Amino acid sequence: MNNQYKSFEKNIDPANCKVLLVGVGGIGTEILKCLVLSGFRRIDIVDYDFVEISNVSRQLFFRLGDEGKSKVHVLAANATKHFKSAKGLEIRPFHSDISDFFSKFKVSPADYNIVLSALDNINARRCLNAIIMTYSNPKDSPVLIDSGTEGFNGHCRLIIPKKTSCYECTMGLNVQDTNFPLCEIKEFPRTPIHCIAYANFIYEENKNDGQESKNQRISKIYNLALEHAKYFGIQGVTLELTQQIIGHIFPTLLSTNTIIASCVVSQAIKYLKGFEKEKDFKSYFMYYAQTGIYSSSFEIQKDENCIFCKI
């Protein structure tokens, strides 16, 4: 199987590669599918979220009746069953936030050859990047492949610790959150966004330690924002706006997720074959399809002020 890889110089078999997939939402489930179909067999998956009814219609491995269950446990079971002919396949699920995954389950970054990020928010990406970049033994540190989509557009990038730029180097490319004075959004809100921002503050101040799904959290914040808006006579607070402001949720297209997932796995295979050593190798891939279909690959230089890359 996978004889097409034998002509490559480095020739590390994907079946012997240990992969950590972080995030099993729209991109993550597609990445898992591509990994298995490309010959990868040792895959650990990490996510803290639970299956929602919307996942059933948009993602391959979730079924009616899975709602409320741990995403990673459902995904591991259903994917293993779906790919029952994939000899030697082992998908291990870990229900956890990435911030405490390594300590909670007593695993090390060195346990993996490749870490794939299919996370959907900036803070989680920064956390994973920091864990990989600060691992005490760079020689044993895995490479990180980050990915993301927004509507018709998407990206993936290969991050090699101490060699390429890291996620923190390019924080300036991200849309920064807007902060509001608490006194203003509490006592004198003027817009729906002010109401949502204040509702988020109240939620964070009063949330319990129990685990909630992302949709449950956003629903609570939405209801709090509605109350605040009603008190001040403000129109325009909607669930969609709350999702965009709090969850950074944008329209998701399965076609875009599939394209980016394929690119992620292609980058992983190229790394296993040593392609990153080629003179013209580019680690950052961008895909644009809003007004046509375009793509570009390029290299981003390290930020000399990056707390990880300047060391």
* 21 and 59 in a common domain: yes
* 242 and 202 in a common domain: yes
- Asked if residue 47 is part of any domain, the answer here is yes
* 256 and 242 in a common domain: no
Per-residue pLDDT of 198-216, as tens digits, reads 999 999 888 776 667 778 8
- Asked if residue 191 is part of any domain, the answer here is yes
- Asked if residue 229 is part of any domain, the answer here is yes
Confidence at 88, pLDDT banded by 50, 70, 90: very high
- Of residues 25 and 176, the one with the higher pLDDT is 25
* 270 and 129 in a common domain: yes
- Asked if residue 304 is part of any domain, the answer here is no
Q: How far is CA 105 from CA 100, 126, 128, 211, in A?
A: 8, 20, 15, 18
- Note the pLDDT of residue 57: 80
> 146-150, 162-166, 168-172, 182-186: which range is least confident on average?
182-186
Q: Is 263 a catalytic residue?
A: no
DSSP per residue, 77-104: HHHHHHTTTSTT-EEEEEES-HHHHHHH
* Residue 228: domain span: 182-247
* 61 and 27 in a common domain: yes
- Of residues 32 and 311, the one with the higher pLDDT is 32
Among residues 30, 40, 32, the alpha carbon closest in space to that of 2 is found at: 40
Q: Average pLDDT for residues 221-226, to the nearest whole number? A: 95
* 268 and 153 in a common domain: yes
Judged against a pLDDT cut of 80, whether residue 79 lies above it is answered with: yes
Domain with residue 288: its CATH number is 3.40.50.720
Q: Average pLDDT for residues 228-249, to the nearest whole number? A: 87
* 225 and 202 in a common domain: yes
Q: Average pLDDT for residues 231-236, to the nearest whole number? A: 94
- Asked if residue 137 is part of any domain, the answer here is yes
- Note the pLDDT of residue 6: 46
- Note the pLDDT of residue 105: 96
- The 3-state DSSP class for residue 277 equals helix
* 168 and 59 in a common domain: yes
- Asked if residue 270 is part of any domain, the answer here is yes
* 216 and 117 in a common domain: no
* 169 and 61 in a common domain: yes
- Note the pLDDT of residue 135: 84
**Average model confidence (pLDDT) across the chain:** 89
Instruction: From the candidates 127, 169, 183, 306, give the one annotated as an active-site residue.
Output: 183
Q: How many domains does the chain have?
A: 2
Judged against a pLDDT cut of 70, whether residue 250 lies above it is answered with: no
Q: Average pLDDT for residues 226-249, to the nearest whole number? A: 88
- Note the pLDDT of residue 167: 95
Last residue of some domain: 223, 247, 271?
247
Q: Average pLDDT for residues 204-229, to the nearest whole number? A: 85
Last residue of some domain: 212, 229, 247?
247
Rounded distance, CA 186 to CA 126, Å?
30
Beta-carbon neighbour count of residue 33 at 10 Å?
20
Confidence at 150, pLDDT banded by 50, 70, 90: confident
Confidence at 244, pLDDT banded by 50, 70, 90: confident
Domain with residue 214: its CATH number is 1.10.10.520
- Asked if residue 5 is part of any domain, the answer here is no
- Asked if residue 7 is part of any domain, the answer here is no
* 165 and 229 in a common domain: no
Judged against a pLDDT cut of 60, whether residue 54 lies above it is answered with: yes
Q: Average pLDDT for residues 47-57, to the nearest whole number? A: 87
- Note the pLDDT of residue 278: 74
- Note the pLDDT of residue 39: 97
* 39 and 141 in a common domain: yes
Q: Is 280 exposed, middle or buried (0-12, 13-18, 19+ CB in 10 A)?
A: exposed
